[in-house]
Structure 1
């Protein structure tokens, strides 16, 4: 397997300058939200020549080996950072099925949209809320200590306030509770937000961290998942606090949020104060259009549509990647990568084709 770059030269400060508009033109930096282990594993073993090790609970040696490979992956593919997210353990109802991606030995899980774990104040009071003092920040600390020279660390809590709120109530239950028990929903949102705020306070003590990059999917193809007014009341104030905390510590605040967010985009720019917007789907808002409209204020992060990455040819992927670079890189405030993430069903050659095209001038 041939990797897209032979001698990586990470430079997190250049990344920072480019996405904030201080630098412009030339090769844009790479960005990615998540890469599934189904792609990471063959790239680490066949491309980097390392032995893949799955992290096993209760086995520090396997966990260390996994993190070493994780760091090597991000560096070896030309990124200027390592992005790591782990979430607090919120008990919830999940559904699962075998992953249908070729060669996968894992399950894919998703939220139960019909039955949540909180439907009443009694459920709220007896729910096993996690405690920050019980959480193991060791993986974040390990990666921070072992960052390669000139690389930075991007961190996130796994899942945002809206996503966990929807999981706790279920989507159906949340919609009903917003009408019948709005005070209960607000209490749950505040408990989630306070826990995540404490989580980020701890992470921002790590000297290698240069950005918070949470994901909180608040939309779908045509609208937000709940009303913009409810998002402004329940979710966005917490993103405002997270962004303010990052900025107080001299760090950037990026947001990954899927769907049509047109109704709350002014809030994200003017009130929350995001430094970069991630998650773009061509059928909703192509990244180059977002960049043309808002690139003077905020970075457009990624943009290569997952549909092209999943179903297109390598030539299709290269063409779309080059079109985005040509449209956005000259003005800065841009980084190139997928429009969402790299899930298990994206062919490895297509993922590498995107990176190779993006790194062509490196």
Structure 2
């Protein structure tokens, strides 16, 4: 592995309170703190074994020791790469349809895509017979373990795995949802209500866990040129639930961050004024670069990440470092900014590209 002079950080000094203060605009740090949404196991594994010199353990269903070892490594990666927090999410078991395919970049060689044409709910009978999960204490065990075992100064940033729009479109399928908006709006409303209430139960408990520092929900509502549903449909079925989750977070003294891909121009006023998000994540230079977004909305909300995935995926080390430095300088001096990827760290990002971004951010 290529040597990175600033990684790993052997004696990290995380300060999650400082991170939150920076993103909320209460302080202007000398350099932007790090932020990330997800780091795929395909990269986390070689970081654990090659960079940190630890033993990787795959978590096995029902095997608590393997899960605890996995969680310890999970913490170590975020800690020794220089983050002030650990972000963790897991989703309730919802029966959704996937299309499976080979993907050599994944640790298990397989990738699953949502079936866009065939969902599990298409009729009222499907809805009434659907096996809706229960929110049990066991669901929170991993969150609680992470919160109890964080290094001093670190915080836990939490989310339910997948947002209400994402699960609504997965249960119907995207095509099915688009049709149902006009053919069966009452069914769409019922499914959205059931999902929204389930996730509300999750968040009511997550915000009470000691050590939780923020909610950072993901819900991809857009594509290259627009939102995936008409803005009015999002205002009817999904955004009110985001507003309720944000209210829960705010009532607990926590910020509510949103990761959402795509062009959300038409609903940005809703996200800022109605949902009242505190910061936005997920940027693509082909839509709106992070610095351009900050110029438009930075007086209202924080900006998280922005190093374009295309640059991380295909760029040279010099290009990645230049993009990282540019964002740190242009966005960092305005404040309410944290540096990281424009989306996440998926399996197909070269490890050395990810580490180049982090090393530059620590320079």
Normalised to the residue count of structure 1, the TM-score between the two structures is 0.97
* 1:1-362 paired onto structure 2 within 5 Å: 1=1, 2=3, 3-101=7-105, 104-133=107-136, 135-360=138-363
Q: Please identify, of 256-265 and 126-135, the stretch whose mean Cα deviation from structure 2 is larger.
A: 126-135
Following the alignment from structure 2 to structure 1, what is the Cα–Cα distance between the partners of residues 249 and 222?
A: 24
Superposed CA offset, 1:197-240 (max 9, x none)? 11011111111101001110000000000100000000000000
- What SS does the corresponding residue of 2:256 show, helix, strand or coil? strand
The alpha-carbon deviation at position 4 of structure 1 amounts to 4.9
Assess if the C-alpha contact under 8 Å between 1:88 and 1:135 holds in 2. Answer: no
Q: Is 1:21–1:331's contact at 8 Å kept on the other side of the alignment?
A: no
Please list every run of 5 or more consecutive structure 1 residues that lacks an aligned counterpart in the other structure.
none
Alignment: residue pair count: 359
Is the contact made by 2:8 and 2:51 (CA closer than 8 Å) also made in structure 1? no
Distance 2:109 2:31 in 1: 36
Return 6-15 or 61-70, whichever deviates more.
6-15
Please, which moves more after superposition, 219-228 or 325-334?
Answer: 325-334
CA distance in 1, matches of 2:28, 2:312: 26
Distance in 2 separating the partners of 1:221 and 1:43: 32
For the residue of structure 2 that corresponds to 1:110, the secondary structure is strand
Report how far residue 293 of structure 1 moved: 1.6
CA RMSD of aligned residues (A): 1.1
Q: CA deviation at 1:104?
A: 3.8
The 1-side partners of 2:12 and 2:346 are apart by 24
Structure 2 length-normalised TM: 0.97
SS at match of 2:17: helix
Do the aligned residues in 1 keep the contact of 2:8 with 2:52 (CA within 8 Å)?
no
Q: Distance in 2 between matches of 1:47 and 1:324?
A: 26
1:308 is paired with a residue whose SS is: helix
Output one character per residue of 1:168-198: Cα deviation in whole Å (capped at 9) or x when no partner: 0000100110010001001100100000011
Contact 2:203 2:245 in 1 (8 A): yes
Q: CA deviation at 1:6?
A: 4.1
Paired residue secondary structure (1:214): strand
Structure 2 unaligned residues grouped into runs of 5+ = none
